[in-house]
Amino acid sequence: MADSLQILVTGGAGYLGSILVPTLLDQGHRVTVLDNFMFKQTSLNHCCANPNFDCYRGDAREAEVLRPLVAKADVVIPLAALVGAPLCDRDKSATVTTNRDAIRTLVDMLSPDQRVLMPITNSGYGVGEKDKFCTEESPLRPISLYGTTKVEAEQIALEHPSAISFRLATVFGMAPRMRIDLLVNDFVYRAVYDRVLVLFEANFKRNYIHIRDVARAFLHGIDNFEAMKGGPYNVGLSDANLSKKELAERIQKHLPRFVFLESPIGEDPDKRDYIVSNEKIERTGYRPAHSLDMGIEELIKGYRMISNSAYANV
């Protein structure tokens, strides 16, 4: 484990932050969170008793808010973002200023030895070539404003001499600040409550990763920073490059009463279709610990507690 570090997490009360922040604290790090709490979330309440935890309500786009927090940080993890194509399309200007411009503001105030661990999305690959894995050298062709702003944010972050970028697969799993709009989470929710799902463009493929394995990837990056810095890493389950139909079939094995239908008409507004290689980060010693099936079982349990759409992102 790395020595205890002072870590700033912007957007730390969100879906990923609500898992990552307690994980960092458990490793002995000192963590400061900056969040605007736009979803009125209380996901970090349980961290407040920890003397190594601190939090501030504020906007990660504002330099005067960021500067005093950045000045104390050894590591910055900029999670603050408008996430997902529907939310980004709803407020395009806020998406650009939060997802891209705020990263420029942040990077410009860092000293060369302050570290950045930048999460983006592997949706930057857009539409891949059939049966050809996207690697970190593959061209980035984002097809949504969300994907475009995150690709631009990665370019800005990697200009910094002490930076790593994680290109995250579609994340799944339970979290204190839950999101049920993510694909696996959404499909399991529908399987539990509706028991029926209509699939549009059912053969479109993408990669998946458990939220706790994303947190583990950040820990891995901190512990192996010198060896890994300077480039991007895909983070996903290498055995879960699945089409929407294949995902529905996996869920059906856990919930046999679940029925799904492929629609011959209509289309999914999310046109992403690609398979991803995670070999680069695996060569550094990182391996996911949570399978897709483990996540499905976890979500089924979680949805016995959650029965409304307050946890969507839009």
pLDDT in tens, 64-78: 999 999 999 999 999
Is it the case that residue 127 has pLDDT exceeding 90?
no
- Higher-scoring residue by pLDDT: 16, 309: 16
Q: Tell me, what CATH number does 88's domain have?
A: 3.40.50.720
Name the domain count of the chain: 1
**Would you say residue 63 lies in a domain?**
yes
Residue 134 and residue 128 in contact, taking contact as beta carbons nearer than 8 Å: yes
Domain presence at residue 65: yes
Q: Which domain holds residue 139?
A: 6-173+207-236+272-289
The answer on pLDDT for 143 being more than 90 is: no
Q: Does 302 score more than 60 pLDDT?
A: yes
β-partners of residue 120 are 167
Residue 192, domain member (yes or no): no
pLDDT tens by residue, 200-255: 989 999 999 999 999 999 999 999 999 999 999 999 999 999 999 999 999 999 99
pLDDT band at 16, cuts 50/70/90? very high
Q: What pLDDT is recorded for position 275?
A: 95
Secondary structure element (H or E) that encloses residue 133, with its range: strand 133-134
Residue 276, strand partner residues: 134
Query: Does 102 reside within a domain?
Result: yes
Question: CB under 8 Å to 246, separation ≥6 — which residues?
Answer: none
> With b meaning 16 or more CB within 10 Å and e meaning fewer, what string describes 44-59?
beebeeeeebbbeebb
CA 33 to CA 75: how far, in whole Å? 12
pLDDT at 85: 83
Integer Cα distance of 49 and 67 in angstroms: 26
Mean pLDDT of 71-91: 93
Task: Judge whether 257 lies within some domain.
Answer: no
Summarize pLDDT for 252-298 with one digit per residue, the tens: 999 999 999 998 877 776 778 999 999 999 999 999 999 999 999 99
pTM for this one? 0.95
Burial class (CB in 10 A: 0-12, 13-18, 19+), 159: exposed
Q: How confident is the model at residue 312 (pLDDT cuts 50, 70, 90)?
A: low
Q: Is residue 64 part of a domain?
A: yes
With respect to residue 191, please indicate whether it lies within any of the assigned structural domains. Answer: no
- Specify if 313 maps to a domain: no
Give the mean pLDDT of 156-171. 97
Question: How distant, in Å, are the alpha carbons of 128, 152, 154, 171, 175 from that of 124?
Answer: 10, 10, 10, 15, 25
Q: Residue 185's pLDDT band (boundaries 50, 70, 90)?
A: very high
